[in-house]
Copies of this chain bind each other. A is one copy, B any other.
Amino acid sequence: MGLLKGIDPLLTADVLHILRSMGHGDKLCICDCNFPAAQVATNSTSKKHVILTVTLPEALDAICSVFPLDFFEQKQAVYMGPQEGVEMPPAGVEVVSSMKEVIMKNCGGDATIDKMERFSFYEEAKSCFAVIQCLERRPYGNVILWKGCVGPDGLDLKP
């Protein structure tokens, strides 16, 4: 495998195939290294479970460099939050903060990124198009992105 001009090297052939195959409204799950990715992927549209051996912010930055978000919905992404009665540890707060920065950097800074309780997140992930798992070891490094449209200017299409 070799590289392509203008495309982040982390976007392997399999990742590019997944991202380009997804249409408007399809969802992508990007998860940490503790997530039950293989199991969740068996329920996904493509059944694909691809690994990128970097942290969540690194994987997310590469993906968001080409992936348009769905600004025709009320939210563009959700991240996993703790189940009831559990507090998010500092490392989780940190990874969620980085995640938000990376998404904002790539979409023009106006995405809505909501929290979703752990078990609801697993359910939501099962209806994704594919699961891309990274080597993020901080807890709660899991996010679902809604795919939008690319406008005639080549950027995220917004209403």
Residues of A in contact with B (beta carbons under 8 Å apart): 1-7, 9, 11-14, 16-24, 26, 65-68, 147, 149-150, 154-156
Contact = CB atoms under 8 A, between A and B. Distances in A.
A6 B2 CA distance: 19
Dominant secondary structure at the A interface: loop
A79 to B, nearest CB: 21
B2 A22 contact: yes
A3 B155 contact: no
Contacts of A5: 65-68, 150, 154-156
Contacts of A20: 1-4, 7, 11-13, 16
B2 A23 contact: yes
A16 B5 CA distance: 12
Contacts of A26: 2
B17 A4 contact: no
